[in-house]
Chain A
Amino acid sequence: MVEKTKVSKMGGRQIPLHRDPKVRAVAFQAAAVLFFVWSLWTIGSNTVANMEQRGIVLGLSWLDKLAPFQVGFSPFLDNVLGENTYWRIFFIGVQNTIYVSVFGIIAATLLGFVIGVMRLSPNWLVAKIASAYVEIFRNIPLLLWFFFWYFIVFLPILPGVRESISFADAVFINKSGLYLPRPVTENIGAAVVFLLICTATIAGVVYLTRWAGKRQDRTGEQFPVLPTSLAILILVPIAGFYASDSPYSLEYAQLGAFQLSGGINLTTEFFVVWFALTTYTAAFIGENVRGGILAVSHGQTEAARSLGLHHGQNIKLVIIPQAMRVIIPPTISQYLNLTKNSTLAIAIAYEEIASIWMGISLNTTGQALIIIAMTVGVFWTLSFLTSALLNWYNKRVQLTER
C-alpha cells in the first residue's frame, strides 16, 4: 500500500486518459459496436430502399403460395404438382440435402477407414495405391469430379429406359436411376405390430450385448455375441412378419411409355452426388484415420504384446480406442464439409436445397433476401449442431482420460 502511493506520488501526475487501459477498452469496443451497427443500418436501409424500387414486398406470405413446379426426387415428403407450397419445397430441399449427406457420411466413413488402414499397410504396393488415391482425390476440384462422374462415367454407361437392366423384374437400372420395389401396406394395425417387433428385436440385441460384456467382466466367460445377435436379427423379424399376418406387400416399378413408374426411384443424380461426395471425402477421412493410428505410440503395441494380446486384440482393444480420440474430431468436421459440399449438386441438378430452393425458387419468386437467409440458416444450424457434438465428445473423452 505504502509502496503504491509512493510510486504514484513520485510521478506527480495522473495516467493520461488515453493511456488508461480501462478507458481504452471501453472506447475501442464502443467504436466497434458503433461501426457494426452503422454498417447494419446502412445495409438495411439500402436494402429496403432498393427492394421498394424493384417492387419486391418484404414478407413471408409468399411462402404459403403454391409453387409452379414439381420436385422430381423426394424420398419421404409428399410432393404433388400444383399442391406444393414454397414451405414444402424448402423442406423437400432440406430433406434431400440431409438424405444424401447421411448416405454419404456412412459410405465415406467406411471407405475412409479402408483407405487410412491401407496407407499403413506393410505391403508397399497397397500403401502406394492408397496414397495415390488420396492425392488424386484431394488435389482435383470436387465440381470436376461431379461433372466427370455424371457426364463421362455414369450417364453414358447406363442403359436407356427400354434397355433397363433388370433383376428378376423387381430391381431396374437405367439412365434415370435405380428402381427398387416399395413395401406398401393396407393393414396399418398389423404394420405397426410388425414395426414394434422389429424395434423390440433391436433393443433385445443391444441388451444382450451389454449383458454379455458385463458377464465377461465379472466371470471372464465369453458369450458368442455376434452369431447369436445375427441369428436373432434375421430370424425374429421374419417370424414376426408372418405372425403379424404379412402386413407388407411389394409394389414393383412398371415400364410405361417413356419411363418406369411406381416403386422407389433413386435417381442417377442422387447416385452421382452420393458417389462423388463419398469418394472425395473418403480421401480426407483416410488421412485422419492414418494420422490417428500413427498418433498411438508404439509402446502401446509393445505393452499389449507383453500382456499376451495377439495382433487382432491389440488392434481392437488397444490401438483403435486410443486412435479414435484423435480420429473423431477432424472426421466430424469432414462430415460437416460433406454436407456443405452437397450444395455442389446444383451443377448436375440433384434436387437439394441449393438447387430447388436457392436456384429454382429464387428465380420464380425473386425473394432473394429471405431465400438466401433461410438457406444460410439451415447450414448455420447444421454447423452449430456439429460443434455442439464436437464439444460434447471432447468433454467426454477428457473425462475418460483422467
Chain B
Amino acid sequence: MSEFTPIPAREPPASSVGVVGWLRTHLFSSWFNGALTVLILWSLLLIVPPSLQWLLGDASWSGGRSDDCKTDFVSPEDGETYRVDAPGACWTFTKVRFMQIMFGLYFAANPSEVWRPVLMFSLFGGLITPLLIPKFRWKWQLGMFTLLVFPFIAVALVHGEWLGLPVAETNEWGGFMLTFFLAAGGIVLALPIGVVMALGRRSELPIIRSLCVFYIELWRAAPLITILFMASNLLPLFFPSGVDFDKVVRALIAITMFQSAYTAEAIRGGLQAIPKGQDEAASALGMGYWRKTGFITLPQAMKISIPGIVNTFIELFKDTTLVGIIGLHDFLGSAQIAARSPEWKGYDFEAYVYVALIFFMCCFAMSKYSQHLERKLDTGHKER
C-alpha cells in the first residue's frame, strides 16, 4: 500500500503576494481607497519636492553675510539689477548665529569660552549614552552620579565662578543651553519633591494626604505661564527684602514646582501599579513603613514610572519655551532675536524651521525611547 502524499499546495496567485499583493491590500483595496491613494500621492508630489528643494537643494550654506543668501534679479521693467532673496533657505544665517542660538549672548560674544558649554554637553552625552545600553553594569551608580553630581559640574563649567574662569552671569545665559538647563534642572529638582508628594498622596494619614493633594492639584491646575508670572512677580514679595533671585533662578523655581506635581502623578501611577502583595509580604517580614517603601515598593514603582516621567519631561522640555514670555532668551527666543537683528531681518522662517527640527528630533527620540521602555517594562505585573 503506497503511502498517502498530499498534492503540494498551489502557489498563491501572483496578485496576492509580493509587491503587487501588498499594494492591493494596503493601497488599492477598494475603489475609494484607490482614489484616496492617488489623491494623496498627487498632493505629496506637489508638496514634498519643492519643500526639499527649498530646504536643501536651493539653500545657501556658505559665506558669512546676509548678502550670500541673495541673488541677482534683473527687473523686466527698468532693466536694472537688484539683489533679492535666493529661492532657497538661508542656512548661512543659522551658521553665523549658531553660537547665539545654541549658547546665548555671553558665549557668542566670547568665542574663546565656548569650550565650556561644549564640554558640558559632551560630558552629558558621555554620561547618558552608557545609561541607554541595556547591559551596562554600573547603571545605578552612574545614574546617581548624573542626578546628584553632574548638575554641579555643569553649573561650575558654564557659570565659571567656582572654577576661577571668567564668569558668565545667568542673565546672559541663553539659547539651547538655557533650555537644557531649565528642563534638566527642573526634572532633577522636581524628582525628590515628586517622590515625597507621591508617597504623601498614598499615605494613610489624612492630613498628610490632603496637604499633598493640595500641593499637587495647586500646580497642576494652573497653566505654566501663570506660575512663571508668579515666580517673576510674586517671588520677590514672598522672601524677606534683600533676598533676591535672578531671572533664571526664578524661572527654575517655577518650573520645578510645576514639574514636581506632574512627576508626583507619574510616580503615583507607578506606585499604584505595584501589586498589593508586595507591600503585604514586606509587612509580614516585619518591615516598617520606611523600609517597606525604600526597599520594596518605591524601587519597583520608580522603575515602572520611568516612561511616565520621560513623557512629562518631553512636555516640560517643550514648555520651557514659555520662559521667553517672562523675558529670558531660551532656544526659541534666541533664534527669534537673531532673526530680528538688523543684518538678518526677514529670516524668521529659517529660524523657526531650525528650532522646530531640533525640538522635533529631541522629543521624537525621547518619546520613542519611552515607548520602548514601556514595552520592555511591561512584565505583566500591572493590574489591568
Question: Interface residues, chain A, CB within 8 Å of chain B?
Answer: 25, 28-29, 32-33, 36, 43, 46-47, 49-51, 53, 122-126, 129, 135-136, 138-144, 147-148, 151-152, 340-341, 343-344, 346-347, 354, 358, 362, 368-369, 372, 375-376, 379-380, 382-384
Whether B233 lies near A372 (C-beta < 8 A) is: yes
CA–CA, A187 to B208, complex, Å? 62
CA–CA, A36 to B200, complex, Å? 14
Whether A138 lies near B363 (C-beta < 8 A) is: yes
- Is B369 an interface residue when CB atoms closer than 8 A count as contact? no
| Cβ distance B155 to chain A, nearest Cβ, rounded Å | 25
Interchain residue pairs A-B with the least CB separation, the first 8: A139-B363, A124-B26, A383-B221, A368-B233, A141-B318, A340-B223, A29-B207, A143-B321
From B333, which residue of chain A is reached at the shortest CB distance?
A143
Q: Which residues of B, 92-141, contact A by the 8 Å Cβ criterion?
A: none
Whether B237 lies near A142 (C-beta < 8 A) is: no
Contacts of B226 in A (CB 8 A): 343, 354, 358, 372, 375-376, 379
From A386, which residue of chain B is reached at the shortest CB distance?
B221
CA–CA, A152 to B350, complex, Å? 10
CA–CA, A384 to B238, complex, Å? 27
Contacts A/B (CB < 8 Å), 29 sampled: A25-B205, A28-B205, A33-B207, A46-B240, A51-B237, A123-B27, A123-B33, A124-B26, A125-B37, A139-B359, A139-B360, A139-B367, A140-B363, A141-B318, A143-B324, A147-B336, A148-B352, A343-B223, A346-B225, A354-B223, A354-B226, A358-B226, A362-B229, A362-B233, A372-B229, A375-B226, A375-B229, A379-B221, A380-B222
CA–CA, A40 to B206, complex, Å? 20
From A152, which residue of chain B is reached at the shortest CB distance?
B349
Contacts of B322 in A (CB 8 A): 143, 344
CA–CA, A228 to B158, complex, Å? 71
Q: Give 20 A-B pairs besides A139-B367, A344-B322 with Cβ atoms closer than 8 angstroms.
A: A25-B204, A46-B239, A46-B240, A122-B26, A123-B29, A124-B26, A125-B36, A138-B367, A139-B318, A140-B359, A141-B359, A143-B321, A143-B332, A144-B359, A152-B352, A343-B223, A358-B226, A379-B223, A380-B221, A383-B217
- Is B319 an interface residue when CB atoms closer than 8 A count as contact? yes
Contact A372/B239 with A32-B207, A126-B36, A141-B319 known, Cβ cut-off 8 Å: no
Contact with A along B266-285 (1 / 0, CB 8 A): 00000000000000000000
CA–CA, A141 to B237, complex, Å? 31
Contacts of B363 in A (CB 8 A): 138-140
- Is B211 an interface residue when CB atoms closer than 8 A count as contact? yes
Q: Which residue of B27, B221, B314, B360 contacts A124 across the interface (Cβ within 8 Å)?
A: B27
Contacts of B241 in A (CB 8 A): 49-50, 53
CA–CA, A139 to B315, complex, Å? 9
Q: Which residue of A29, A125, A129, A346 contacts B208 across the interface (Cβ within 8 Å)?
A: A29
Whether B225 lies near A343 (C-beta < 8 A) is: yes
Q: Which residue of A43, A123, A368, A372 contacts B36 across the interface (Cβ within 8 Å)?
A: A123
- Is B74 an interface residue when CB atoms closer than 8 A count as contact? no
- Is B230 an interface residue when CB atoms closer than 8 A count as contact? yes
CA–CA, A136 to B361, complex, Å? 10
From B351, which residue of chain A is reached at the shortest CB distance?
A147
CA–CA, A88 to B363, complex, Å? 41
Whether A144 lies near B356 (C-beta < 8 A) is: yes
- Is B163 an interface residue when CB atoms closer than 8 A count as contact? no
Contacts of A32 in B (CB 8 A): 207-208, 211
CA–CA, A195 to B383, complex, Å? 53
- Is B355 an interface residue when CB atoms closer than 8 A count as contact? yes
- Is B348 an interface residue when CB atoms closer than 8 A count as contact? yes
Contacts of A33 in B (CB 8 A): 207, 211
Contacts of B332 in A (CB 8 A): 141, 143-144, 147
- Is B234 an interface residue when CB atoms closer than 8 A count as contact? yes
Contacts of B236 in A (CB 8 A): 50
- Is B325 an interface residue when CB atoms closer than 8 A count as contact? yes
